[in-house]
Amino acid sequence: MDQDISITFPHVLIFFPLVAGLITFFFKKDATVKSWALFSSVITLCVSLGSIYYANNKALSGLTFNYEWLKYIGASFSVSLDGMGRILTLLTAISFPVIFVATYKSQYKNTNSFYGLLLLTQAGLMGVFLASDALLFYFFWELAIIPVYFLCSKWGGDKRIQATFKFFIYTFTGSLLMLVGIIYIYLQTAATQDATGKIISAHSFAINYFYAAQLTADQQSWLFWLFFIAFAIKMPVFPFHTWQPDTYEQSPSAVTMVLSGVMVKMGLFGVVRWLLPMFPLAVAKFDTTVIILSVIGIVYASLLAIKQDDLKRLVAYSSIAHIGLMSATIFTTKQIGLEGVMIQMFNHGINIIGLWIVIEMIERQLGVRKISQLSGIAHKAPVLTIMLVVIGFANIALPLTNAFVGEFMMFSGLFQFNGWIATVALVSIILAAVYTLTMVQKVFYGQVNALTTNMKEISVNEQVALSIIVVAIFLSGIYPQPLFDLTKDTVTGIITRFK
């Protein structure tokens, strides 16, 4: 009975937000739409928590399902919840109700379409993190991105069309390159057989077939770049990052939270799940190149963050720097570093969403995001200030916050790979402290000005959303072991590919 229950988890994580999103389009009243979106996202969170409970108490096979989808071309609806999948589906499941609570008072035209598209995005994200079939992975990759195009272009800022077009060109190009790579590897796979041993397809899209494809070193080399560029654009890392600040700035705050907190993890996930196991020879060949590009991005984005006057652009560049550190660490293929990346993917999502929520609250009340126009908010909103200070400390990886353990382990992995590269990357810690603490000091402290005198304390629902973030920061910072337990098998499997 328990086995039967656990089998349903991957399906519900995908299909419940998908169906809930489609249903949302038929609601008319804004209050009903928001309540339904919040309710459905809480149900998804309960399912995600249930999957972790059963995974810790039952066999992992109970979280894997395979159904023949397009059997004559070797494609199946194959989904699996391993350690990395569980931690990223949990992040996705936590993020959406927190975002809905934090932005509950925000008003949107065609509210049903806005929230319906957000829930479809959640379904696509779940599918990406669960897919064990390359064609299915690509299908959900696009399903997660397409609603975001509409959300940005219809509900974004004054320059939304230019930003969305740039976002579309970058992501479409990356997706096309990845599709070419998928098709080529598919043609190198072995034949698929049914239970009786009868060949039903000349090739297969199954992930284990892709891992076992016989690729030469030269083939791996050029295929590596097809996949890496697609994933690098999504993260994004230098020099594929230029779409990100404009898109984050012009997108509605709820969409920016999804993009920055969850969707960027698609790229990191793709590297770990698909790129590293498929192209071990190419990874060993190009690891230094990718790590250097990532470290350049860390320092470059941190310096740009220091110069920003717009809160959204500051946080956007901060995100690039943090993602760059994770990207660099992945390519070291060191166990301690990869373990740090696993928990940092979760922690970064929590922290960055917290920062976006604070910016959303300030902009909604005062109508501005310019640091130079803000001052003394702590006098008017002390609860908001306390929450922001905690989130800010997490952003600079202060001990006892969630980011400390992950960053410590990632830097340890970088030092094992190359001490000089790690030393340059360490500069980002100082730079992160500079732009984060400067922002806190200028915006929240000092004297109240003519604009910020109108600031009010945040509402109860906003306090609830930020309280969830703060609790998660301290829980993961003080006792991160459960996150390590979730992902240790995934890390071990990756490391064995390079021994």
Residue-by-residue DSSP string for 360-404: HHHHHHHS--BGGG---HHHH-HHHHHHHHHHHHHHTT-TTSHHH
Query: C-alpha 175: how far from its chain's center?
Result: 17
Which two three-digit tokens encode residue 306?
């220091």
Rounded CA-CA distance 120/145 in Å is 10
Determine which helix (DSSP H) or strand (DSSP E) holds 442, and give its type and residue range.
helix 419-444
Q: What is the pLDDT of residues 404-423, one digit of tens each?
A: 888 899 999 999 988 898 89
Cβ–Cβ under 8 Å, residues 138 and 178: yes
What pLDDT score was predicted for residue 22? Answer: 92
Rounded CA-CA distance 355/316 in Å is 10
Q: Collapse the DSSP code of 419 into the 3-class scheme (helix H, G, I; strand E, B; otherwise coil) and give the result.
A: helix
H-assigned helices in 1-156: 2-24, 30-57, 83-102, 111-130, 134-155
What pLDDT score was predicted for residue 199? Answer: 66
The answer, yes or no, to whether residue 296 has pLDDT greater than 70, is yes
What pLDDT score was predicted for residue 236? Answer: 84
Cβ–Cβ under 8 Å, residues 144 and 121: yes
Q: What is the pLDDT of residues 225-249, one digit of tens each?
A: 999 999 999 888 888 888 888 888 8
pLDDT band at 115 (very low <50, low <70, confident <90, very high): very high
Provide mean pLDDT across the span 418-438: 88
Question: If we measure between CA atoms, which residue out of 315, 375, 370, 373 comes closest to residue 348?
Answer: 315
What pLDDT score was predicted for residue 429? Answer: 86
What burial letters (b/e) apply to 141-169, b meaning 16+ CB within 10 Å?
Answer: bebbbbbbbbbbbbbbeeebeebbebbbe
The answer, yes or no, to whether residue 442 has pLDDT greater than 80, is yes
Q: What angle do CA 256, 257, 260 make, to 5 degrees?
A: 80
3-state helix, strand, coil in the chain (%, to 5): 80, 5, 20
What pLDDT score was predicted for residue 96? Answer: 93
% of the chain exceeding 70 in pLDDT = 92
Q: What is the pLDDT of residues 381-410, one digit of tens each?
A: 888 888 888 998 898 888 888 888 888 999
Q: What is the pLDDT of residues 127-144, one digit of tens each?
A: 999 988 889 999 999 888
Domain residues of the chain, as ranges? Answer: 279-499
What pLDDT score was predicted for residue 196? Answer: 60
Whole-model pTM: value is 0.89
What pLDDT score was predicted for residue 123? Answer: 92
The answer, yes or no, to whether residue 462 has pLDDT greater than 90, is no
Which residue type sits at 128? Answer: V
pLDDT band at 91 (very low <50, low <70, confident <90, very high): very high
C-alpha separations of 46 from 39, 131, 161, 437 in Å: 11, 21, 37, 36
pLDDT band at 120 (very low <50, low <70, confident <90, very high): very high
The answer, yes or no, to whether residue 118 has pLDDT greater than 70, is yes
Provide mean pLDDT across the span 3-16: 68
**What's the burial of 132, exposed, middle or buried (CB within 10 Å: 0-12/13-18/19+)?**
buried
